[in-house]
Amino acid sequence: MWKTFCLSLLVAGLFSCQEGKRYQSFKPGEIWLDNAEVHINAHGGGILYDGGRYYWFGEHKTEGEAGNRANVGVHCYSSDDLYNWIDEGIALSVEPEGSGSPIEKGCILERPKVIHNAKTGKYVMWFHLEPKGMGYRGAQSGVAVSDQVTGPYQFLHAGRINAGKWAANASEELKNAPVPALEDAYSGGELPGHPDSLNIHKRDLEGGQMARDMNLFVDDDGKAYHIYASEENSTLQIAQLTDDYTDHNGVYIRCFAGRFMEAPAMFKHNGKYYLMMSGCTGWASNAARSAVADSVLGEWKELGNPCVDADSATTYHSQSTYILPMPGHPDKFIYMGDRWTPENAIDGRYIWLPLEFDGDRFVIHWQDEWKM
């Protein structure tokens, strides 16, 4: 009797274990089901490794073109092997329509990232926010916090960045140059000249710097950084966060001025800092860029396209969203990218590929299927 009971427990255990382990490999670009057999809905996402588990946060998209707007919020999944993901629900919910909240349903809320603050014990989420009805003109950043990794996250504030503060590497020339008069000033679309000739950095000094595509990076000393496409997307900026990670502390740099980079993702390897970015072509994929520096706050040196196989000119039909360091494996990283489907946002696919080092640069090869 006791033997039969133990055996049935063992069989049930084995079954449930296999049930939770549908995948044993990555298949970039294919439908990727969660534990409820639903395609994972966490676009423009990033991963936090916390308490021995991986937490994947990303944009919850809905059907059709309108699904690119934030109709639900930020979705969270968890995993212990990176192949199989459990739906942990909506970590940050949008506020009801008509509430007037900056994160009201129908706003644009993109590229959410979560980091943990060891001092306060809080989980801190940052995201690119375009309040409803502003198109992409808002160029704001939003912050939300939670005591639990999976949420619910409470929205704190949103806005432009470091109002009244010059970038640490802003040249005296730029500081003293005039901002073009209104009739010559930039009013959307392609920039008529180099961004420095338009002095967008100075234009936005008082109201704060723009921030669209973004990421976060926490260094070994606990300092956290916000990396974002600024100055009408023409120039990347890297800004230090306050000790509690919920604001900026006024220290920041401009880099790659006039290079129009989006989708930044930062990581550290052998004491050097690396960045991967895309060009700036809306939802359409383009050739990735990479760069290296001895310190987060620069000088940054471009290294070129890290993708080396066929379709490298489109980053294998994807755009970077995060580079995941493998805990316990200092030389192993995973490139995480989005293959956007803007006409039916919810169908977007995930391109995860191993990232390798080739001398001083990193490279990403295409693989139809791979294992860690």
Q: Does 314 bind ligand DGJ (CB under 6 A)?
A: no
Name the amino acid, one letter, at 367: Q
Contact code string over 48-87 relative to ligand DGJ, x by CB under 6 A:
----------------------------------------
CB nearer to ligand DGJ: pick between 204 and 262:
262
Minimum gap (Å) between residue 320 Cβ and ligand DGJ: 9
Q: For residue 232, what are the contacts with CB-CB under 8 A and spacing of at least 6?
A: 186, 191, 195, 200, 210
Contact code string over 29-48 relative to ligand DGJ, x by CB under 6 A:
---------------x----
Judged by CB under 6 A, which of 25, 283, 299, 368 binds ligand DGJ? 283
Q: Hey, what are 287's tokens?
A: 């050739």
Q: Does 282 bind ligand DGJ (CB under 6 A)?
A: yes
CB nearer to ligand DGJ: pick between 88 and 110:
110
Interface size with ligand DGJ, residues (CB under 6 A): 9
Q: Which residue is nearest to ligand DGJ (CB)?
A: 282
Judged by CB under 6 A, which of 34, 204, 213, 247 binds ligand DGJ? 213
Minimum gap (Å) between residue 280 Cβ and ligand DGJ: 7
Q: Hey, what are 128's tokens?
A: 């690119």
The candidate with the shortest Cα–Cα distance to 215, out of 271, 132, 273, 165, is 273
Tell me, rounded to whole angstroms, the distance of Cα 242 from its chain centroid: 19
Q: Does 319 bind ligand DGJ (CB under 6 A)?
A: yes
Q: Hey, what are 211's tokens?
A: 């921030």
Q: Does 232 bind ligand DGJ (CB under 6 A)?
A: no
Q: In whole angstroms, what is the distance from residue 10 CA to residue 304 CA?
A: 53
CB nearer to ligand DGJ: pick between 150 and 320:
320
Q: In whole angstroms, what is the distance from residue 261 CA to residue 265 CA?
A: 11
Q: Does 111 bind ligand DGJ (CB under 6 A)?
A: yes
Judged by CB under 6 A, which of 76, 114, 257, 263 binds ligand DGJ? 263
CB nearer to ligand DGJ: pick between 209 and 319:
319
CB nearer to ligand DGJ: pick between 204 and 213:
213
CB nearer to ligand DGJ: pick between 130 and 196:
130
How big is the CA angle at 321 (ends 236 and 117), to the nearest 5 degrees?
85
CB nearer to ligand DGJ: pick between 93 and 320:
320
CB nearer to ligand DGJ: pick between 211 and 297:
211
Interface positions, 138-197, toward ligand DGJ (CB under 6 A): none
Minimum gap (Å) between residue 263 Cβ and ligand DGJ: 5
Judged by CB under 6 A, which of 158, 262, 288, 349 binds ligand DGJ? 262
Minimum gap (Å) between residue 363 Cβ and ligand DGJ: 22
* Size (the chain), residues: 372
The residue assigned the tokens 């000249």 is 193
Q: Does 110 bind ligand DGJ (CB under 6 A)?
A: yes
CB nearer to ligand DGJ: pick between 109 and 149:
109
CB nearer to ligand DGJ: pick between 189 and 271:
189
Residues that bind ligand DGJ (CB under 6 A): 44, 110-111, 213, 262-263, 282-283, 319
